[in-house]
Amino acid sequence: MLLVLVLAAAIWGVGRLMGASRQARLYMLGLLYVAVLALHLVLPDGHPLRMATGESPAFWAILGGFGALALAYGLVLRRVKARAVAQEAARAPEVPERRGRFGEAELERYARHIVLRELGGPGQKALREAKVLVIGAGGLGAPALQYLAAAGVGTIGLIDDDVVENANLQRQVIHSDDRIGMPKVFSAQAAMQAQNPYVEVRPYHRRLDAESAELLFAEYDVILDGTDNFDTRYLANRFAVAAGKPLISGALSQWEGQLSVFDPGKGTPCYQCLFPEAPAPGLAPSCAEAGVLGPLPGVVGAMMAVETVKLIVGAGQPLLGEMLIYDALWGETRKIALKRREGCPVCG
């Protein structure tokens, strides 16, 4: 029995280190189970391999039954979730036609943009035709999503697997008390479409993984990373570089925020050039562990939206090859230059 558990743990751990998907690792565990059960059915009583793996096949048969039940439950649960997502999409309000000339209501809505010399009518048209994907509908994603929708970005995708919690409302201002328990992507979608019915909002209620990143990044022009964990940051960086899409990344810690635009295709470093490895546990505590000032995500998230607009319309100088650091406690900002790292496994 102990031998089988050790083998199972080794398969799972080595597979994860090698970057194997969860599905592939589960497949390998299934093969291990079949092999162990076959040994018990083929080998005689008292054989050393049978003795080392639990002696009797009854235990493994019962374990397989429970595993089959769990698998069936998971399949049913996924189908129910898929049906719920489809129903949410069907109930979403129809997006008005966004091609051709701007209507009178749109011209009035975007008048303050159109009179800007650096943006104007062509810039507003570029925003309407742009597609932006935001990873995370939390602290940074909330203000970025609100301002991108208000600015008239034509298609906005948002991906997040979390639901609205009471503790989110101190800073995630796109959500509200009556939406506690609702998936964040649908809560944000409702707020964005209430703000601007002229934009298309595409919610993806799931966690970003390698498969979804490859498919989604190909559809969008700019990627915003508002996540709070290094695994997702490295994943987003890797696939943004592979797809040749600019990645706008923001981060928060207590009273301080930072922001940069990564686009190695334009000669800038990528995220992994700056942070080759994730910090050791405890060195970079999450907002839940260290705390964060409520308005701070609004400041940095709004800056992420600003950088997005600048990239789309070609205005000013985006934060390419630079990092902006904002210290809210002392009201200070500073910029530092960033350089590519030789031998970077992502963009080197």
Average pLDDT value for the chain? 85
Please tell me the number of Cα atoms within 13 Å of 195 on its side-chain side.
Answer: 22
- pLDDT at residue 321, rounded to an integer: 92
Taking the domains of the chain in order of start, what are their residue ranges? Answer: 2-83, 102-337
- pLDDT at residue 95, rounded to an integer: 47
pTM more than 0.85 = no
Confidence of residue 93 (pLDDT cuts 50, 70, 90): very low
Beta strand 322-327 with 131-135 is unpaired
pLDDT digits (tens, 9 = 90+) for 144-177: 999 999 999 999 999 999 999 999 999 999 999 9
* Two tokens, residue 210: 């390698």
DSSP output for 62-121: HHHHHHHHHHHHHHHHHHHHHHHHHHHHHHSPPPPP-SSSPPHHHHHHTHHHHT-TTTHH
CATH no., domain 102-337: 3.40.50.720
